[in-house]
C-alpha cells in the first residue's frame, strides 16, 4: 500500500501536539512517543476516510484508548507520587525566564499530573487540556458524565493543591 | 472556577508542546511491524530458535546472514511473528500479501503449478526463466526450510512442511526485474562442482502476476555455497539468485543494487 496522500504532512504538523497530550496523559516522554506512533500507524489504513472528517479527533481517540489499554495491561501497579521532584532554581536572570523555563514548567505540570490517579489524570487532561466536553470525555473513556464531572473536579483540586505547594 | 484555577488551566494548556513530534519514517515502520504481526502471526507459524553451526547437508543448503539468527532466536517462544532484518515498509510500497503465497512448502518444494496463463506474450517456460513482459505484481514468498536447533546441533527438517515466513511485495523495479531475469542463460550442465558447506536454507518463491491474468513462479534457495540453480520449473539457470532474492525481499525493490548483492552475480545473459 502506498503512502496515503496528505498523511505525511499531517504527521509532521500534528504529532508534536499529540506527543504533548500523550506526555501529559502518561508522564513518560518515551511512552508518549510510542503511543503517538502507534496511534498514527493505526490511523494510516483508514486515512482516506478519516481525513474527510476530523483526523485530529480520530487520532486522539485512538491515542487515549491505547493509553487506557496500556494502563490496564502494564501499569496496574502504578502508584501516584505524593511528592513532586525538586525543580531547578536560579537558572534564569532577574525578570527573565531561564532558557529551560518552558521545559521546567512542562516537567512540573507533568509531575503534578502524575500525582493524580491514572483515571483522574486522563479526565483532567482531556477535559481541561484538550478542552473536550463532559460528554466527549465520558464517551471516550466509557464513563458516566457524572463520573467525569466528579473526577475532573477532584483532579483539579488536587492539582491546585500540589502546584500551590511548589 | 476560581482565578487560581483559570491560571492553572492556562499553564496546563500553554505548556510548550514538544518541539518534535514523531517522524513519518517511525510511523511507517510501525505500520510495517503491525502488518507483519497480523499477516504472519495469523498463519500461526512459530519462529524457531536458530544457532549457527556447520555440517554437511547437501550441495543445496543455504546461508544465513549475520543478525538473522539473533532476530529469529529473539522471537522464539515470545511471539509467532518473526522479525525481518530490514523493514521493507520504508520503501512505502510493501504489502504483505500472504494470500498470494503457498501457506507452506515441503523441504524441497517444486515450483507451484503451471500453466502460466496469459502473460502478455508467447512465453515458452522451457526457454527462458520469465517473460520479457513487465509483470503487474511481484511477490517474494520466503520459507525457512533448514534451521539449526538450539543447543548447537544441526536439525535439518527433511520431509517436513514449512510455513510461510515472510511475504513481501516488490514495490518497484519490475521492469528491471523482467529484463534481468528474462535474459538469464540456461544451465550448461547437469552437474557442477560445488562446495558442501552446510547452513540454513530459505526457499524463496517469486510470484509474478501479469495483466492478462497469468502467473509465473521462480524458485531460488539461499545457499552458503552459492551454487543452487534458479528455476521456473522448466527452465533452469546456473545463476545463483539467493542473495539477490533475499536483498529484494529486504528492500522490497528490484534494483541494480539487489542484482549486485552477490559480487559477480550479474546475469550471464
- Report DSSP letters for B40-64, one per residue: HHTTTPPPPP---------TT----
Residues of B in contact with A164 (CB under 8 A): 4
Helix axes B3-14, A101-114, angle to 10 degrees: 110
Q: Cβ of B3 under 8 Å from any chain A Cβ?
A: no
- Residue bearing the bigger pLDDT, B11 or A57: A57
Q: What are the cell numbers at B51?
A: 544457532
**How far off is chain B from A143, nearest CA to CA, in Å?**
22
* Domain-located, residue A81: no
* Domain-located, residue A93: no
- Residue bearing the bigger pLDDT, B193 or A112: A112
Residues of A in contact with B30 (CB under 8 A): 37-38, 40-41
Same domain, A68 and A108: no
Chain A residues 124-143 within an 8 A CB cutoff of chain B: 124-125, 128-129, 131
Contact B52, B171 (CB under 8 A): no
Same domain, A13 and A56: yes
pLDDT at B33 over 90: no
Same domain, A16 and A66: yes
Domain range spanning residue A49? 7-74
User: Final residue of a domain: which of A28, A56, A74?
Assistant: A74
Q: What is the mean pLDDT of residues B196-217?
A: 85
Side-chain half-sphere CA neighbours of B86 within 13 A:
15
- Tell me what pLDDT residue B123 has: 85
Note the Cα A161 to chain centre separation in Å: 20
User: Final residue of a domain: which of A30, A59, A74?
Assistant: A74
Residue in A24, A36, A106 closest to B16 by CB = A106
Domain total in chain A: 2
Give the helix, strand, coil percentages of chain B, each rounded to 5: 25, 20, 55
Residues of A in contact with B21 (CB under 8 A): 11-12, 14-19, 36
Q: Looking at A1-10, A94-103, A104-113, A143-152, which range is the least confident one?
A: A94-103
pLDDT at B54 over 50: no
- Tell me what pLDDT residue B70 has: 26
- ipTM of this predicted structure: 0.71
User: Final residue of a domain: which of A74, A91, A120?
Assistant: A74
Q: Cβ of A31 under 8 Å from any chain B Cβ?
A: no
Tell me, what CATH number does A153's domain have? Answer: 1.10.10.10
Residue B11 to residue A105, Cβ atoms within 8 A: yes
* pLDDT, tens digit (0-9, with 9 covering 90-100), for A114-145: 888 888 888 998 888 888 899 988 888 888 99
Q: What is the mean pLDDT of residues B66-95?
A: 30
What are the residues whose beta carbons fall under 8 Å from the beta carbon of A23, sequence distance 6 or more?
Answer: A29, A32, A106, A110, B18
* Domain-located, residue A80: no
Same domain, A64 and A108: no
- Tell me what pLDDT residue B69 has: 28
* pLDDT, tens digit (0-9, with 9 covering 90-100), for A27-80: 777 778 888 988 998 899 889 888 888 898 889 888 888 887 766 554 444 444
* Domain-located, residue A152: yes
Amino acid at each position: 500500500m502506498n503512502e496515503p496522500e496528505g498523511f505525511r504532512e499531517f504527521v509532521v504538523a500534528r504529532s508534536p501536539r499529540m506527543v504533548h497530550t500523550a506526555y501529559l496523559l502518561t508522564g513518560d516522554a518515551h511512552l508518549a512517543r510510542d503511543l503517538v506512533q502507534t496511534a498514527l500507524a493505526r490511523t494510516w489504513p483508514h486515512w482516506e476516510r478519516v481525513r474527510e472528517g476530523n483526523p485530529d479527533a480520530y487520532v486522539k481517540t485512538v491515542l487515549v484508548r491505547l493509553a487506557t489499554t496500556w494502563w490496564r495491561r502494564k501499569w496496574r501497579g502504578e502508584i501516584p507520587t505524593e511528592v513532586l521532584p525538586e525543580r531547578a532554581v536560579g537558572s534564569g536572570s532577574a525578570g527573565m525566564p531561564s532558557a529551560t523555563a518552558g521545559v521546567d514548567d512542562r516537567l512540573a505540570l507533568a509531575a503534578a499530573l502524575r500525582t493524580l490517579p491514572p483515571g483522574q489524570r486522563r479526565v483532567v487532561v482531556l477535559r481541561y487540556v484538550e478542552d473536550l466536553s463532559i460528554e466527549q470525555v465520558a464517551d471516550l473513556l466509557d464513563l458516566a458524565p457524572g463520573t467525569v464531572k466528579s473526577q475532573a473536579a477532584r483532579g483539579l483540586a488536587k492539582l491546585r493543591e500540589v502546584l500551590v505547594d511548589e | 472556577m476560581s482565578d487560581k484555577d483559570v491560571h492553572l488551566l492556562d499553564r496546563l494548556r500553554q505548556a510548550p508542546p514538544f518541539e518534535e513530534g514523531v517522524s513519518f519514517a517511525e510511523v511507517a515502520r510501525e505500520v510495517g511491524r503491525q502488518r507483519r504481526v497480523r499477516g504472519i502471526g495469523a498463519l500461526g507459524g512459530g519462529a524457531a530458535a536458530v544457532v549457527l553451526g556447520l555440517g554437511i547437508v547437501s550441495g543445496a543448503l543455504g546461508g544465513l546472514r549475520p543478525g538473522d539468527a539473533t532476530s529469529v532466536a529473539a522471537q522464539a517462544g515470545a511471539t509467532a511473528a518473526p522479525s525481518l532484518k530490514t523493514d521493507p515498509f520504508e520503501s512505502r510500497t510493501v504489502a504483505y500479501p500472504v494470500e498470494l503465497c503457498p501457506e507452506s512448502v515441503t523441504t524441497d518444494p517444486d515450483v507451484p503449478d503451471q500453466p502460466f496463463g496469459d502473460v502478455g506474450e508467447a512465453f515458452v517456460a522451457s526457454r527462458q526463466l520469465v517473460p520479457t513482459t513487465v509483470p503487474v505484481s511481484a511477490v517474494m514468498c520466503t520459507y525457512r526450510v533448514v534451521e539449526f536447533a538450539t543447543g548447537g546441533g544441526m536439525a535439518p527438517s527433511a520431509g517436513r512442511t514449512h510455513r510461510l515466513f515472510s511475504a513481501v511485495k516488490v514495490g518497484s523495479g519490475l521492469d528491471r526485474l523482467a529484463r534481468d531475469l528474462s535474459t538469464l542463460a540456461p544451465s550448461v550442465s547437469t552437474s557442477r562442482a560445488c562446495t558442501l558447506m552446510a547452513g540454513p536454507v530459505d526457499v524463496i518463491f517469486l510470484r509474478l502476476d501479469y495483466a492478462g491474468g497469468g502467473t509465473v513462479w521462480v524458485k531460488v534457495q539461499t545457499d552458503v555455497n552459492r551454487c543452487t540453480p534458479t528455476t521456473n520449473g522448466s527452465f533452469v539457470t546456473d545463476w545463483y539468485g539467493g542473495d539477490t532474492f533475499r536483498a529484494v525481499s529486504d528492500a522490497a525493490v528490484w534494483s541494480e543494487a539487489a542484482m549486485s548483492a552477490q559480487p559477480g552475480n550479474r546475469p550471464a545473459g
